[in-house]
Amino acid sequence: MDRHILVINAGSSSLKVRLYPLGADGRPGPHRLACQMAGLGGRHPHFDLTDGQGHPMDPPHGTDGLAAVADHGGALDRLLGCLEALEPKPRIVAAGHRMVHGGGRYVAPLRLDRASIRDLETLVPLAPNHMPHNLAAARALAERRPDLPQVGCFDTAFHETLPPEARELGLPHAYTERGVRRYGFHGLSYQSVVNHWPEETGGPLPERLVVAHLGNGASLCAIKDGRSIATTMGFSALDGVPMGTRSGAVDPGALIYLMRTEHLDADGLERLLYTRSGLLGLSGDSGDMEDLLAAGTDRARHAVTVFCSRVAGAVASLAMALGGVDALVFTGGIGEHAAPVRADILVRCAWLGVRADDAANAAGGPRLTAPGSPVAAWLIPADEEGVIAAETARML
């Protein structure tokens, strides 16, 4: 039986897995299967199964009993059952997990065992909306396959190269020494862009690159010679540009004012900033960019305009950090699929030397700018799972 790597990405109410075959050289090839179970704990959970080309497949055990799947353990049972039914049956030799936060300690892939998982639990306060679910999936798999090696790959690790001036907040330095500093996120996505640049563009990685990972969560990164030197997310995944339901950067004075006038405690403020803000708060209707582009209402258009304006402003700031910019990349769900959003941002970046090609952008690229544009813009799909598979294979 062929050896395979299982890649797991656990969210608050979802579990996504991909199955990667290992070649004779020990490196993962293109994924063979992708499974996703969403809506865990809700009334209408749903299950998606696709092959390596993205074609839908029928779940081998049907969809009966989905409503009874309430947690990551139950979802994992369901997904593992699909893998067991494959012909030929894959031999899974390791599993890799997306871990959103590695703190200042974990800057490389980590073998996950009881001790390391217990230590990672101390980082939950740094990413309370992500790490509990990442760790729950690792624990659930360890219970079911205690013999299977597991590896954690960290979204923060790519940003370990941030210089001191890009890490420190404007707080007393004692807090920095206690870990209250800028970390940055979406590192697995940024690493995938660096990895795939030559094959996607046909050229060498430019010295000065700005990558915009735009999705329900969104951030941008300045990459110099393949290394992160500045990014829009900071201590938490709340910072930077507005997102689906997250606020992005907000004047701390406004937060103090709201806590006093709205009588918000820390939990209330957290709910406001994580679940009621961003595109949802601006539009008053939806945090989904596709919905807003289709709605055509004044508030929907306003929310999209604010988003595009903030992203373009972030591009300008990151260009300053790089001392100029050679290329701009769009990735993530919005970056890859929302041509009107890309078009708006490209126009706002014209002063940097971006000469948009409207037809190429509408067609989905991959190159989004006209020949001879001083700054080239590209669409490169995010492949976080591919990065995790490769890192996990290297740990074997």
C-alpha atoms less than 13 angstroms from C-alpha of 165 in its C-beta half-sphere: 2
Q: Tell me, what amino acid is at 140? A: A
Return left, alpha or beta for 19; rule: phi > 0 is left, psi -120 to 50 is alpha, else beta: beta
Pull the structure tokens for residue 318.
Answer: 């990151």
Distance CA 149, CA 164 (A): 35
Cα–Cα distance for residue pair 94/316, rounded to 1 Å: 42
Sheet holding 227-231, edge to edge: 227-231, 218-224, 208-214, 327-331, 376-379
155 carries an active-site annotation: yes
What is the identity of the amino acid at 248?
G
Contact assessment for residue 341 and residue 323, using Cβ atoms and an 8 Å cutoff:
no
From 48, 58, 77, 155, the catalytic residue: 155
Q: What is the DSSP string of 10-54?
A: E-SSEEEEEEEEB-TTS-B-S-SEEEEEE-TTSSS-EEEEEETTS
Give the Cα separation of 173 and 163 in Å (integer). Answer: 16
Q: Which two tokens stand for residue 325?
A: 């910019």
Q: How far is CA 165 from CA 143, 157, 169, 227, 229, in A?
A: 43, 18, 9, 15, 10
Structural tokens at position 102: 């590695």
Do 318 and 199 form a contact (C-beta atoms < 8 A)?
Answer: no
User: Annotated active-site positions, please?
Assistant: 155
